[in-house]
Every structure is written in C-alpha cells, then in structure tokens.
C-alpha cells in the first residue's frame, strides 16, 4: 500500500509530532522541510547559512529553494512507497509545484490532514517549545509573523484540497494519543491503515 500524505496546520498545532507518529505507523518517511532546514543550519552547510538568515528575520524560505529541497527528498528510495509532508506546500504556488511534480510521476496526494488549533493554543505551545528546546526561531514576534503568513497563504490552499475531497479536518486539541487516534481513524476511513 502506498500513502502520499500532507499534514497542515498553524505553527504549534503539533504537525511535526503527529506527522512522525503517523508516518511511522504507515511505514513511510515524514518529510519536514523545517527539520531539513534546521539540520542544514546545525551542520553549517551553504543551504543552512542561507536559511538561517531568512528564518532569523521571521521570513519563510523562498518557494523555489523549498521546492528543490522537497523534490530532492522525494526522489530518495524510502519515499517510493509514499511519504508524509510537513511544512510543504505552504502556499498556492508550492501546491501547484507539488501537483505538477507528482503528476509527472503519475501520482497525486491521497489525503491532507488539517490540524485545527485555536491561535492562542498555537502561541502557548510554541512559547513552551521554545523554552524546552531553546529554539531561537520561536520568539513571540517571529511566531506572530509566521501565524499571519499561515493565515494569509497556507489556509487558502486548504480549500483546494477540500474541493478535491482529500481533506480531513482534525481537532488538534487534546492529548497526543487522542489526536493520533483521530488522524488514524480519518485515514482508515479512506482505506489508509497502519502497517
């Protein structure tokens, strides 16, 4: 069985945590652009230096660069039977780029998981994460800017996926296990079940 999934939601919605849990349950890689970028920053690579300057200002990495990184990752052998994307696509341009890439391979997304979390909850979670993980890119000012970008650019692509009938809206408030169970139930209803 293959599963090509996307998980979306505002910053602090738990996408990263839930994405890894779902991907592991399905035996597919979780592909997080944020994780890829942070690994490059930590490694001091050329890409990392570019990304560091962009994210420190609270901006998102440009579409062209992000798309290149994602396409390269999806070409790796472990993604042949599917993947779970986290953090990409973030806007209509990236969504069109992903559609074109997948169509070129005779593929399409199977489901899009939308974690719905109130703005106050997102901010509280991010503030806690910043304290626990020492993430310098999680200042209140940067978070507010990112949430505004999500609301103006990412939220609109959700409508596109809803029109295609592949969107599952998941209540993102509750315990980790409760939220994972909600996601797994929604995917199972589409015939996408854990291995």
* Residue 61 token pair: 């990495």
- For residue 97, is it left (φ>0), alpha (ψ between -120 and 50) or beta? alpha
Nearest alpha carbon to residue 182 among 172, 167, 191: 172
The partner residues of 31 in beta bridges, in order of sequence, read 85
- Residue 169's DSSP bridge partners are 114
Calpha distance 175→114 (Å, rounded) = 17
Which residues are designated catalytic? 15, 90, 129, 135, 146
Token digits of residue 173: 């408030």
Q: Which residue bears the tokens 């944020």? A: 34
Contacts of residue 69, defined as CB under 8 A and 6 or more positions apart, other chains included, come to 33, 36, 37, 47
Neighbours of 169 (CB within 10 A): 14
Q: What is the DSSP letter of 78?
A: G
């Amino acid at each position: 069985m293959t599963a090509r999934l996307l998980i979306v939601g505002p910053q602090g919605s738990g996408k990263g945590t839930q994405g890894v849990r779902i991907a592991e349950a399905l035996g597919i890689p979780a592909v997080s652009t944020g994780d890829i970028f942070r690994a490059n920053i930590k490694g001091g690579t050329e890409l990392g230096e570019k990304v560091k300057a962009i994210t420190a200002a609270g901006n998102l990495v440009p579409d062209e660069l992000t798309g290149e990184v994602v396409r390269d990752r999806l070409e790796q052998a472990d993604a042949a039977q599917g993947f779970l994307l986290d953090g990409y696509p973030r806007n209509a341009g990236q969504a069109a780029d992903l559609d074109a890439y997948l169509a070129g391979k005779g593929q399409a997304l199977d489901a899009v998981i939308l974690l719905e979390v109130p703005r106050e909850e997102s901010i509280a979670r991010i503030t806690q994460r910043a304290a626990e993980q020492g993430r310098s890119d999680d200042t209140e000012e940067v978070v507010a800017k990112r949430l505004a970008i999500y609301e103006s650019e990412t939220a609109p692509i959700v409508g596109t996926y809803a029109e295609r009938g592949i969107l599952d809206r998941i209540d993102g408030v509750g315990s980790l296990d409760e939220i994972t169970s909600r996601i797994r139930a929604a995917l199972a209803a589409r015939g996408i079940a854990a291995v």
